[in-house]
Each structure stands twice: as C-alpha cells, then as structure tokens.
Chains A and B, each alone.
Chain A
C-alpha cells in the first residue's frame, strides 16, 4: 500500500509538468495583454510596450516558461502582476473560504443525497422515487447563479434570516457568524451535487438490491432496514464515492460562480478576477494548485475503496 501511495504521489510530478506546459501555452495563445490592462485608457502604445518590457512579457516565450518553471522548482508560484503580492500569499489568504465552502457542500450533499437516493431505490417506481428523480433533473437544470439569487431573495431580502453576502471565518468570528454566512452558498452549491449523488446512489442501490446475496439476506429473514444498510448501501458505496470524487471537479467550477454571487473572497473569485485581468502568474499558479488538489483527492478516493470493499487491494 505504501509503495502504491508513493508511486501515485511520484506520478503527480509529470502530470503537473504537463499541466504547467498546457496552462502556460493556453494563456499565451489567448488574446489579451496584462500590460495593456495596466496601462489603461490614457496610455500610448509606447507606454504599453515599456510596461510589457518591465514585466518580462517581451522576452521569448521559451525564456518566460523557463523562468517560471525554475521558480516553481523552488516552490515559488510567482507574483501577481497587478497587486505585486506572491501568488502563494494570495492563495493562503483565499483558501479557507473555498475549502470550508467545499467541505460544507460535500458534507451536506452526501448527508442529503445518499439517504434520498437509497430511499428512491428502495421505493423504486413509487411517487417518492419519481419525486427524487424530478428533484435530480431540476437540480441539474437550474443554473447555480439563478438558484443563488432566488435563495437570497427569499431568505435574505424577504425573511431577513441570513446575510446576502460575505464570509466570516469560524476561527476568527465564531461558529454562529460562519454558519449564517455559509448556509446560502452551501445550499446553492449543494443542489447540483445532491442531484448527481442521489441519482448515482439510486442506480447503484437498485443494482445491488437485485444481487443474489441480497435475496439470500432477505430469505434469512433479515429486516428490510438491515438488508438495505448492511448489504445494499455498503456494496453500492464504491460507485457513489467515485461520483463524489468526480463531483469535486464540478465543485471547482461551481465555486467560481457561487463565490461571485455571494461575494465570498475565495479562490474561485481570485481565478475569475485574474482571468479577466490576464494576471498570468495567478492563473498559472491557481490552475496548478487546483490540479494538485484534484490529483490528491483522487488518490484519497482510490484509497477509500480499500476500506469500503476489502476485495480491493493495491
């Protein structure tokens, strides 16, 4: 197992190298120039050229890439062209809201979706099943920003229960303010995951419920609850966990929109602002960071398989 983990971790290095090359090339092939954005409306073309030179953007692309990779090898993700702050510092400033929003979303989604999907599978074809599937289709179909505005309208503007926007750290401001600020973003972002996980749970559990060992369990006189929890859900867990892992990739996209709608100072907002301003070091650094997190999460999910299914060994 340890050898497997070390191998997987070692494999991240070439993967990150490919990602780095891809991101760098993609950004430089895209139109737009941070020097022109910095120079603003008053600038002359000469001003823009001088700023490009100052930022090192007039160097050949190979030199720029080499400089960046050399910095990366020393653990330096670069410095924001606009704010002059190190990308690592910007990530450190923004990581907490995004991580906690992702965590609350995943926890809430799993807590709601797995029982919902299981219930739908158990009552397959019933009104409950149809309702769950209707919710799933709806959850997939409603854009995150529309749902966000609707929730703000109901819970913030009309009922005045929850704030419209912002983020409060649980470590700095306490649990109450944290929960009041994170509730609506979590609900907004969770809907699509609940839809996704509920559907997958339903499909997996239905499949497992048709297995021989389930029939055997029922024949032995075990209660339906026991059959469901001990035999069906446990054996259906592997595909469900896989979907949760895939969902984390979706989460990164969802976070960008959710953080904008709720004005949460997280990584999603950071990447969006950087793209609009063509702040290359931030975009490059963040995509590398997201890739790294994604690779590690996939490794973690692969490892959880061994706990969920003892037949899986690495």
Chain B
C-alpha cells in the first residue's frame, strides 16, 4: 500500500463519522462564495450590493424587474391606475406571510416604502411626488400622487440598491439612518442570526410557508422557488483559496472569481464558468467639477477623448470574452442604449485629446488621481488614465491609497492642497445606470454624486424622464440626458465588463440577472 493510500485511509477514517451524521440529515445545501463579506444586514441603511443580495434572500418586493427589463408584479396581485395617473391602488397576493407567521399587510408595505423613500434616490423622488399613502384594507393600499410621476412601477420594481424590500411595520419604523435589529422578512429564505459569523459565514434556510408566484423565474420576477434546504454563504478574503475550494468541491458556487483565475477554472472539467449578469459593469472615471482643471467642461472633454476603452479593458479585465466597448451611458443591450452625443468618448485618440487640450486654458495644474491599490480593476483604470492624461499633455499626480481612504477623501469638496482630488475611478453595475435617474447622472451639485456636476439643462432632462408616461417620451428624454452628459463631460466611461460566475457541475437552475439570486437553484 502506498503512502498516499495510507494517508487517504487515515484521513477518511478520521472524518467518516461526522460525514455519516451529516448524510443522515439528508439536507440539501448550496455552498456559496459571495462577492463580498456581509457586514451589515439592513438593505435600506446601506447600499452595499452584498446587503442588497441578502435582502433578496429574506425579503420580498411589490414589483420586480424581469430579464427583459420589464417590471412585473411580485407581492402585488392586481393594481389600478387612475386616468390622470395620480391615484394608484395595489392589492397584495393571498398567502403572503412573514417568517414569524404574521400576514403581510398594507400597513407593513406603507411603513417599508416610507423608510425606503427616506434613503433611496429614486424613492426620494417618488415620495416628493406623493401626496399620501393609505391602507384601504389589510391587503390593499392606495398611493396618491401630488404631481405626475412616470416611474411609479419602475421605482417599486427597482432591482438594485436600495431595493424597496417589504419589512414588518415594527421593523420599518426604525430610523432610516439607524440599522434594523429584527431580520424578519417574508422572502423565500430565513436568515439564521445565531449562525451568522460576520466576516465568514451567513446561513439561510428555506422558508417553508413562502408562496411563490406561478410564473417561471425571470431575473428578480417570477416564482421564487427555494430548491435547497440551506444556503450557506462562506466569504473568502483570498481569491486563490476560493478557487481551490471550488475545484476540490468544498463549495458549489463562486460568485465573482477574479479575471486572472478564470482560465484555471475553465480548465477544470467539474467546473462551469459563464457570464450570468447580462448587463455587466460600467467603468467610470469621475472628475471633480469643482476644482481646476476639471471645472472647465472643455478640459474634461479633452481628457475623455484620450480614454480609449479598449486599453482600459485590456489592462483591467484582460480576456476579451469578458468585456466590450460601450459608448452609451446606459448599458449596451438595454432599452435606452444610444450613441447620441458620444463622439467625444468614441475618439479614443491621444493626439485629438492633446489638440483639444491646447485649445483650453489649462495651465499645467497637476491632476490628482486617487489610485485604490487594494482593488485591482480600479488600480489598473487609474494607471491607464494617468498614462493617457500624461500623453495628452496633463501634469499628473498619482496618489496611491486604499479604497476606504478613497471613499472618505472623495467626499471632500476642498482644494487639492486641503485634501481634495481631481479624478477617481469606480464601476457601476449595469442595473444601477439603466436609466437617467441614476445618481451617477446627476447635474445637481447639492444632492448629486461625488464630483458635483452642475448643469440645469441636464437636471431638466432628468426631470422630464421622471414625468414621462409613454415609452417614446422616456426614450427622448433619456437621449437628451445622454447628450447633455457627454456635452459637459460629466465622467469618462471606460467600457462594459462582465465578471463571470463559476460553479460545480452539480449546480443547476441559475437565473440570468444583474443580481445573483439563489432561489430556483438546485444541487444534485
């Protein structure tokens, strides 16, 4: 007998008993490596994507977006809209209950929408147009608007952060700026708080009383059928260890393997690697519109001209199957995709950028680029931008830091000498920039996004989109928003890239969606 066999035998014997015990329980468990650690549990308090995904596990929504980006009813059974579009009545499906057995009522819905509306950008706009919300009876509630708002269903069916999840009224009564402490939901899975180890493990069990819709699952819409008894999220801080664990079968599903690991995973016959998010992510270079030299739109546009998307994607993502160029501010492949006004980003030519910069009053002021070295994709974006801007004639001051420092510093409106900045990079998941309401497209420096673009025309176009009631009106105003964004050079856009998922071949039933869902999935 070889030493290898003896070793295997000893170890097998050592672990035989607990394995037998676990097999006896005959529970099906989906073991997942999520994209991040679940640090907090309140999907209204934080916009973190991992908390949003946790929200989808344990809460339900009134409406939901399907794979064609159409809004479909989820908790709602029927609804009516008055002719003037100001009065909406919604009736909940029968059989909706919270995990503690209490029925979901109109009161719960109204309290949840109020809390969500205090934090979420789209929710704030809906609430600003809302005159009242009242319960008609236990399962029907009425939303009365004070002015037309064309995005009522789109707001209630918003797929990404902050999602209007429905919580019990007692929980939704929590101050929106404080975390909830009761995690009772009505979704297809129940959060097991006593098994939660922050930084490591999150456990969900199937909610036996959940009543899924009859329609097949389609992105966030359709029937949410829990096909496994337990879903265990096990966070891995180290991508290589996560990859190894998937290859040896210690986990079933890896949500976001690093791009450089995918060739190794693809070579394993027991593992499937595929793109599950049809929208992917959109890379952004954000200018600080308050400080020179990027307080001048023409300087911003000159910088954008130098940003050749192929170079960013090749550097940060690599494998061409996982990226594409996209010159629309809305993700390519979505209904509002357009090239209107995008000539500036299509240029991708350093010489043209140099010529454009020469036409401006740029005086050689150093451009401070914040480089988050702990996030490889953003670090690579920063390096490419620095290179491009230098070639175009800018003076560049690259400052390395970690992401936590960057998030703190980007909130500063002070001059560079007092801790300000000129450029940072980030990416948005496609679902977050699918229409003009995204905060990334704001032209309001007071309530807008870091970088503080100011453009009244842009804000007017966004407001027109919010009021639009027909698809044609919406498309026209979305195009106007895009044209304005490129005209003022609000941000540089660096390409559309996709992070694949990797899973063992015993996993079936994945739902194509910008958000990773775990219902409908089974494990053989």
Contact = CB atoms under 8 A, between A and B. Distances in A.
B201 A265 contact: yes
Contact of B47 (A40, A85, A149): A40
A85 B181 CA distance: 10
B371 to A, nearest CB: 14
A212 interface: no
Contacts of B14: 175-177, 179-180
B384 to A, nearest CB: 20
A165 B197 contact: no
B209 to A, nearest CB: 28
Contacts of A54: 177-178
Interface stretch (A187-195, A216-224, A256-264): A256-264
A261 B411 contact: no
Contacts of A51: 177
A163 B248 contact: yes
B18 A263 contact: no
A40 B39 CA distance: 13
B404 A176 contact: no
B19 to A, nearest CB: 9
Contacts of A36: 404, 407-408, 410-411
Nearest to B439: A42
A83 B17 contact: no
A190 to B, nearest CB: 19
A287 interface: no
B114 to A, nearest CB: 17
A300 to B, nearest CB: 29
Given A38-B46, A41-B47, A44-B448, A176 B245 contact: no
B199 A273 contact: yes
Nearest to A163: B250
Given A159-B4, A177-B15, A265 B200 contact: yes
B402 A276 contact: yes
A261 B198 contact: no
Contact of A160 (B8, B18, B47, B426): B8
B121 interface: yes
A263 B161 contact: no
A164 B238 contact: no
B241 A165 contact: yes
Interface in B7-24: 7-8, 11, 13-18
B161 A40 contact: yes
A161 interface: yes
Contacts of B428: 41
Given A269-B237, A272-B237, A32 B404 contact: yes
Assign chain A's interface to a size class.
35 or more
B8 A37 contact: no
Contact of B407 (A37, A90, A177, A279): A37
B170 interface: no
Nearest to B408: A33
A84 B242 CA distance: 27
Nearest to A54: B177
A83 B374 CA distance: 22
Contacts of A94: 197
A152 B241 contact: yes
A93 B402 contact: no
Interface string A47-87: 01111001000000000000000000000000010111100
A165 B237 contact: no
Contacts of A80: 198
Given A265-B200, A272-B237, A176 B248 contact: no
A283 to B, nearest CB: 12
B407 A161 contact: no
Interface in B383-417: 401-405, 407-411, 413
A179 B12 CA distance: 12
B37 interface: yes
B216 to A, nearest CB: 31
A48 B178 CA distance: 13
A145 to B, nearest CB: 8
Given A157-B247, A176-B15, A33 B199 contact: no
A165 B245 contact: yes
Contacts of A50: 177
Contacts of A176: 11, 13-18
A165 B236 contact: yes
A82 B198 contact: yes
A162 B15 CA distance: 11
Interface in A66-120: 80, 82-85, 90, 93-94
A279 to B, nearest CB: 8
Contacts of B447: 44, 46
A199 interface: no
Nearest to A148: B241
B450 interface: yes
A288 interface: no
Interface centre among A45, A90, A174, A272 (most CB of B within 10 A): A45
B240 A162 contact: no
Nearest to A30: B405
A83 B432 CA distance: 25
Contacts of B15: 176-177, 180
Contact of A157 (B244, B374, B449): B244
Given A260-B237, A263-B236, A276 B121 contact: no
Contacts of B516: none
Interface centre among B179, B248, B408 (most CB of A within 10 A): B408
B179 A276 contact: no
B48 interface: yes
B234 interface: yes
Given A54-B178, A269-B237, A263 B245 contact: yes
B404 A165 contact: no
Contacts of B448: 44
A75 B366 CA distance: 50
Contact of A152 (B39, B178, B244, B405): B244
A37 B37 CA distance: 13
A31 B405 contact: yes
B46 A40 contact: yes
A252 interface: no
B7 A277 contact: no
A32 B17 contact: no
Interface in B340-388: 374
Nearest to B33: A263
Most buried by A among B16, B39, B432, B446: B39
Interface of B: 4, 7-8, 11, 13-18, 37, 39-41, 45-48, 121, 161-162, 177-179, 181, 197-201, 234, 236-238, 240-242, 244-245, 247-248, 250, 374, 401-405, 407-411, 413, 426, 428, 432, 439, 446-450
Interface of A: 31-34, 36-46, 48-51, 54, 80, 82-85, 90, 93-94, 149, 152, 156-157, 159-166, 173-177, 179-180, 260-263, 265, 269-270, 272-273, 276-279
25 contacts: A31-B401, A31-B409, A33-B404, A37-B408, A40-B46, A41-B428, A42-B449, A51-B177, A80-B198, A82-B198, A83-B40, A83-B198, A84-B40, A157-B248, A159-B4, A160-B248, A164-B244, A165-B244, A174-B18, A176-B16, A180-B14, A261-B241, A263-B234, A265-B200, A278-B404
Given A33-B407, A42-B432, A159-B8, 4 more contacts: A34-B404, A36-B404, A37-B404, A159-B7
